[in-house]
């Protein structure tokens, strides 16, 4: 079952977890993927790299707190059902 629904949800949550625990100043600034401030309106400023950086920082900002709840639910689910 390569793409079952439940394994897919777990895979998505694992990937979001991995994105959420990236550290802003220890890792992302080192490789130049730090979140930029609001870009000045200079035309084609939204490159693919800029979009990825924005996506990562937005994911980190928004999903840190709900992930706590979701991870707890999944941990309890796995402990109870083996």
**What residues make contact with other proteins under the rule CB under 8 A?**
1-8, 12, 44, 46, 48, 51-52, 55
- Between 10 and 72, CB nearer to other proteins: 10
Sign of the C-alpha dihedral computed for residues 70, 71, 72 and 77 taken in this order: positive
CB of 33 to other proteins, least distance (A): 14
**CB closer to other proteins, 11 vs 73:** 11
Shortest CB 34 distance to other proteins, Å:
18
CA distances from 18 to 12, 14, 38, 40, 81 (A): 10, 6, 25, 30, 24
């Amino acid at each position: 079952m390569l793409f079952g629904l439940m394994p897919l949800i777990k895979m998505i949550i694992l990937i979001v977890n991995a994105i959420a625990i990236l550290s802003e100043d220890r890792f992302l600034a080192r490789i130049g993927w730090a979140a930029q401030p609001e870009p000045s309106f200079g035309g084609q400023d939204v490159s693919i790299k800029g979009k990825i950086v924005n996506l990562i920082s937005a994911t980190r900002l928004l999903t840190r707190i709900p992930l706590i709840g979701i991870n707890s639910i999944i941990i309890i689910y796995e402990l109870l059902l083996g």
